[in-house]
Amino acid sequence: MTTDDEPELEQEAAELVRPYVITNGRDLLDDQQFSLITLVTVHPEPPRTKPLDPERLGVLDLCSGGFLSIAEIAGHTRLPVGVVKILVSDLVHEGHLCSRAPVPSAQLVDRQILEEVLNGLQARFG
Amino acid sequence: MGSRLALDDGVYLRNSVQTAAKILVVGHFAVGKTTFIGTMSEIPPLRTEEVMTQAGQGIDDPKGAPGKTTTTVAMDFGRLTLSDQLVLYLFGTPGQQRFVQVWEDMTRGALGALVLVDPERLEDSFPVMDLVEHYGIPYAIAVNRFDGTPVHSVDEIREALDLLPETPVVNCDARDQRSSADSLIALVRYLQSRLN
């Protein structure tokens, strides 16, 4: 037993709640709008709403420090990606979070992004 | 920090970042994907887990439960901020055929894939190469050298893996940042050449 057991309790709580409870019974969406690398942060002017449930509040708190990807939110909260997508989707639609669009698709990758990736790698590691 | 989950500043992206790009780091079990991502990432690598319920198929069918199986798939990933505007995510992707749902999610919007191979277990890389090709993801091969393994020539590896002539094959030490960065650079140069 450790005295600083708050993180463990949080983790246990997350594991004790089944995903469909967290998402209010909604099925996992195949939502093209939110990918693993969609970047989100808290909206500068959040709406006044009734209190949020702990999972949504947790995502909101996590995002209050700046931009993170959906994958990072899942990694930090230890929630499945599919669940995080639903929570983020709700929070964006309700105006709590705002997102930046990911790269659309492999076919639409443009030269500019590859050029920027190459330049960035070379500048950093070359 | 209290009860809030907000983390240290270093965890968050710069506010100026507008675009996120993704490169997959794929390969069979224990080939060095997680090491590679840990070497390159600017944040401690994170893990996501996806719980999948799907129709049972293939050799993993539990006897007497032919309907559905539930599998947890773990993916490790890391992050590299490459400019004020651009961040690159590196996703380690498991090579098992049955994780089709994960692959569809992972490959959507990916620039390309770096396929890590172990020169002593080349045949173990076939399933993951089949998947990458099935999803039409352009890829380069990075031969992860382990200590003490005999060195095969690039030509031998190219032939054994039955690669297209233009597919890049580079040597890589996943523990070494410069070496790992060079293999990513080789992949990106190849991706650029395909647009010309």
User: Closest by alpha carbon to B125, among B143, B109, B138?
Assistant: B143
Average pLDDT over residues B152-170: 92
Query: Is residue A65 within 8 Å of B49, Cβ to Cβ?
Result: no
A48 or B115: whose pLDDT is higher? B115
A18 to chain B, closest Cα gap in Å: 11
Confidence of residue A32 (pLDDT cuts 50, 70, 90): low
pLDDT tens-digit profile of A39-80?
999 999 989 888 889 999 999 999 999 999 999 999 999 998
Query: Is residue B146 within 8 Å of B176, Cβ to Cβ?
Result: no
Dist CA B140 CA A106 (whole Å) = 16
pLDDT of residue A12: 41
Q: A35 — contact with chain B (CB < 8 Å)?
A: yes
Dist CA B69 CA B64 (whole Å) = 11
- Asked if B111 lies within 8 A of A106 by C-beta distance, the reply is yes
Average pLDDT over residues A92-113: 76
Average pLDDT over residues B162-188: 96
Question: What pairing do the DSSP bridges indicate for beta strands A39-42 and A97-100?
Answer: antiparallel
Average pLDDT over residues B155-175: 94
pLDDT of residue B94: 75
Average pLDDT over residues B121-136: 92
Residue at token pair 């996992």: A28
Query: Which of A31, A34, A37, A86 to substitute to test the interface with B, most B CBs within 10 Å?
Result: A37
Dist CA B9 CA B25 (whole Å) = 27
Domains of chain B by residue range: 16-44+77-195
Phi then psi for residue B55, to 5 deg, are -60, 135
pLDDT of residue B152: 81
- Asked if B105 lies within 8 A of A36 by C-beta distance, the reply is yes
Mean pLDDT, chain B, whole residue set: 85
- Asked if B17 lies within 8 A of A67 by C-beta distance, the reply is yes
Q: Is a pLDDT exceeding 90 seen at residue B61?
A: no
Q: Domain spanning B16-44+77-195 has what CATH number?
A: 3.40.50.300
Measured N-to-C along each axis, helices A81-93 and A54-63 cross at an angle, to the nearest 10 degrees, of 80
Query: Other CB atoms closer than 10 Å to residue A85's CB: what's the count?
Result: 25
Query: Is residue B16 within 8 Å of B85, Cβ to Cβ?
Result: yes
Average pLDDT over residues B147-158: 79
Average pLDDT over residues A17-27: 60
Q: Is ipTM over 0.90? A: no
Convert B105-119 to b/e letters by CB count within 10 Å (16 or more is b). bbbbbbbbbbbbbbb
pLDDT of residue A19: 61
Tell me which chain B residues have a C-beta less than 8 angstroms from the C-beta of A124.
Answer: 80, 82, 181
Instruction: Note the Cα B163 to chain centre separation in Å.
Output: 18
- C-alpha dist (Å) from residue B18 to A38, A71, A102, A106: 10, 16, 9, 18
Query: Is residue A97 within 8 Å of A35, Cβ to Cβ?
Result: no
